[in-house]
Structure 1
Amino acid sequence: MLNSSEVNMNNRYSRHISLKEVGDQGQDRLLKKTIFILGLGGIGSPAALYLASSGIGRLVLNDFDLIDESNLSRQILFNESDLGNLKVDVVKKKLNAINSNLKVDTIDEKLSVNEYSKIISKTSFVLDCSDNFETRLSISQAAYESNIPIIHGSAIRFEGQLVVFLNNGKGPCYSCVYSDNEWLENCQGNGVLSTVPGLIGLMMTSELLKIIFGIKSQLVNILLLWDLKDNTWKKLNIKPNPNCKICSRC
């Protein structure tokens, strides 16, 4: 006979469990996973929110920013009373209000590649929701060298992109696409429509859930480019770069 806790969990996640691709076993796998989320802005906020609601077991959140007024138009976990507070502290409190069974660890400082490696080696998956190119390359290297799968997502103006790397001992990796001496734009200087980061965050979370449930992702080593202005989607197949400073040397 199921105890009251099990009955409540089955009811809470009944829409997942009713899916033949998920079932009790899939939901149980979700509960046992630990996800590292880098960045809690317009992309990371909805990603964290939906993972908490979906029944993930543990989240490790990394962001060292304070909440400011410019965040409120697109970072859906924050409101006016949160201004001036650390994002990680506010997000942890709000996620636990949604799911009291969720374990949340927070890191409110910028980390080195080695520090990232030590932390993410104990996790199941990485969501890179950062808005800093240097940080993207650092987390990409750490994930690759730790053999931890990673999903990168970004948004600017009316455009978004995401890509999945399983990091199973061979390339490609994010560094195969963008080199460390390449300048990339950011949304602070160029702007971004409020809904674009949110959609990218949800797509990243959806790909992650698919992989955990054993559903094949169609974005492994595929860079998906979305342009909201004309609603076009493009896919670019990423090949290992023989000159890549990360995956070609491993």
Structure 2
Amino acid sequence: MEQSQNEKNLSSEEISRYARHISLPEIGIKGQEKLKTSSVVCIGTGGLGSPLLIYLAAAGIGRIGIVDFDVVEYSNLQRQIIHSTNSVGLLKTASAKQHLLKLNPSCRVDLHNQKLTSSNALEILNNYDVICDCSDNFPTRYLINDSCLILNKPNIYASIARFEGQVSVFNLKEDSPNYRDLIPTPPPKELIPSCSEAGVMGILPGIIGTIQAAEAIKIITNIGYPLNGRLLIFNALKMSFKELTLKSNPENKNIHKLIDYQKFCSDIKVKNEVDYYIKSISIKELKRLLSQSSKEILLIDVRNLNEHDQCSISGSRLIPLSTIESGEAINEIKILTAKKNLYVFCKSGNRSLRALKHLNKFGIRGINIEGGIEAWNNEKIN
């Protein structure tokens, strides 16, 4: 619906509120009016969505949509700063709206208390100018991407894990890349650690989500150079940024309808174990081997230090997956496996499989322990 000139014009209170924006020649009164009349939807009200939503409201975005179906838990509070201790048990959307309206009562906040699906995505997202992907799973990311292609909407994408985050802007122009240009096919589910398994530094989504907010403001006011065709990668441990160029593949734009994205992602399986020379054994088999010839066995735990300290298998050596994938631990493992047989475990068997797949590239063969420490503990109980 077209807005009247009065609705577009800034009030004296708004001119005072947004004075620091207005004093920027690149934004000014006209730019602030664009922010007032714009609409942005955020899918996910977690680590990324929290700072994004806060800064969108503070910037004077006229209409903000929030899509989420989850409730606030204590484990969220370490990084999801839009929620408070009093919010635990509330819907994340309701908790977020309370915070945003306290910050800026003039914002309109629309709540979509539901999971984004192929049946509702086009209807929901079509109501907004800019789409912000703050989701935490591959099916939703592909769903958001394809919906934006069909609706011709810009998609501000971000993801985080452990100490690293990345941001890009997809589908901004006709020749812009999209998420399928970054990740053409989803990785096998069994090779993807959950947030609870991998962990995340609390401040990381604050940095990445704030960058998403900056991109939204730039796109709406048409200033600067958005991350179109560029993937920005931030490493909190090194406190460094690097940038990769993304190219658009016309074949990845050929999206005309939405599909079953859960099935699309779950259909991707790890290649046959023979392809990677990866064998596996059960916890019972491992215990039998340890009782017979433990001196010939090198048992590596690829979880994080805090997980290892809480509970591990006696005699195991901690070499986190991150140090294997970064290459830091490769020489150490080569030396250790010179005279011993390598067995690798993690929490449930997913990270250990990733570690062995990576080690295979360096000619290091090992055996995956099915079920990881969870199976080990269950075996002890039973």
Same fold by TM-score greater than 0.5: yes
Deviation per CA, 1:50-72: give whole Å up to 9, x if none: 11111110011001111001001
Query: Which one has a bigger Cα radius of gyration?
Result: 2
Residue of 193, 205, 223 corresponding to 2:201: 193
1:99 equivalent to 2:104? Answer yes
What is the identity percentage for the equivalent residue pairs of Structure 1 and Structure 2?
36
Instruction: Report deviation, 1:168.
Output: 3.5
In structure 1, the partner of 2:177 is 172
1:240 equivalent to 2:248? Answer yes
Q: Secondary structure at the match of 1:113?
A: coil
Q: Which has the higher contact order (CA 8 A, sep 6+)?
A: 1
- For the residues of structure 1 that align with 2:87 and 2:246, how far apart are their CA atoms? 40
Residue of 37, 43, 46 corresponding to 1:38: 43
1:234 counterpart letter in structure 2: K
Alignment of 1:1-250 (within 5 A): 6-183=11-188, 184-241=192-249, 243-244=251-252, 247-249=253-255
CA 1:218 to 1:6, structure 2 compared with 1: closer, same or farther past 3 Å?
Answer: closer
- For the residues of structure 2 that align with 1:204 and 1:75, how far apart are their CA atoms? 15
- For the residues of structure 1 that align with 2:204 and 2:157, how far apart are their CA atoms? 15
Contact 1:241 1:248 in 2 (8 A): no
Q: Secondary structure at the match of 2:64?
A: strand
Q: Secondary structure at the match of 1:47?
A: helix
- For the residues of structure 2 that align with 1:202 and 1:150, how far apart are their CA atoms? 15
Unaligned stretches of 5+ in structure 2? 1-5, 257-382
Deviation per CA, 1:133-189: give whole Å up to 9, x if none: 111110111011100001001111110000001344445210121134314444232
Contact 2:218 2:226 in 1 (8 A): no
Q: Secondary structure at the match of 1:230?
A: coil
Q: Secondary structure at the match of 2:120?
A: helix
Count of residues in correspondence between the two structures = 245
Contact 2:146 2:255 in 1 (8 A): no
CA 1:240 to 1:94, structure 2 compared with 1: closer, same or farther past 3 Å?
Answer: same
Instruction: Report deviation, 1:241.
Output: 3.1
Runs of 4+ residues deviating >6 angstroms: none
1:130 counterpart letter in structure 2: S
Deviation per CA, 1:16-75: give whole Å up to 9, x if none: 001001111100000001101000111101100111111110011001111001001111
Aligned CA RMSD, in angstroms, stands at 1.8
Deviation per CA, 1:190-214: give whole Å up to 9, x if none: 0000000010000110111112222
Contact 1:223 1:237 in 2 (8 A): yes
Q: Secondary structure at the match of 1:9?
A: helix
TM-score (normalised: structure 2) = 0.61
- For the residues of structure 2 that align with 1:38 and 1:46, how far apart are their CA atoms? 13
Deviation per CA, 1:112-150: give whole Å up to 9, x if none: 234211221221101101111111110111011100001
Contact 2:171 2:177 in 1 (8 A): no
- For the residues of structure 2 that align with 1:15 and 1:242, how far apart are their CA atoms? 41
Instruction: Report deviation, 1:248.
Output: 3.5
Q: Which moved more, 1:180-189 or 1:222-231?
A: 180-189
- For the residues of structure 2 that align with 1:186 and 1:249, how far apart are their CA atoms? 29
CA 1:7 to 1:243, structure 2 compared with 1: closer, same or farther past 3 Å?
Answer: closer
2:171 counterpart letter in structure 1: L
